Amino acid sequence: MIPVPIVQARARLGEGPVWDPLRQCLFWVDIYNHRVHQLILETGAERWWEVGEVVGSLALVAGERLLLAQRHHLAWLDLLSGAVEPLLELETDRPQNRCNDGKCDPQGRFWFGTMGPEGAGSLYRYDGHLERMETGLTISNGLGWSSDGHTFYLTDSPRQQIYAYDFAAETGSLSHRRVFIDLRGSSFFPDGLTVDAQGYLWVALWDGWAVQRFDPQGIPVEKLELPVQRPTCPTFGGSHLDRLFITTAAVGLSEKEIQEGFHAGDLFAVQTVVRGLPAHRLMNPV
Q: How many residues does the chain have?
A: 286
SS3 280: coil
The DSSP annotation for 196-241 comes to: BTTS-EEEEEETTTEEEEE-TTS-EEEEEE-SSS-EEEEEEESTTS
Q: In the chain, what is the straight-line distance between the N-terminal and C-terminal CA atoms, in Å?
A: 42
- Torsion of Cα atoms, 55 then 101 then 121 then 13, to 10°: -60
Query: Which residue in 105, 156, 191, 266 is the catalytic one?
Result: 191
Q: Letter for the amino acid at 212? A: Q
> CB–CB of 77/84 below 8 Å?
yes
Query: Distance between CA 16 and CA 44 in Å, rounded?
Result: 19
Query: Distance between CA 99 and CA 126 in Å, rounded?
Result: 13
Rg for the chain, CA atoms, rounded: 17
Q: Give the residues across from 72 on adjacent strands.
A: none
Query: Distance between CA 204 and CA 248 in Å, rounded?
Result: 9
191 noted as active-site residue: yes
User: Dihedral sign, CA of 205, 28, 147, 152?
Assistant: positive
Query: Catalytic residues, which ones?
Result: 191
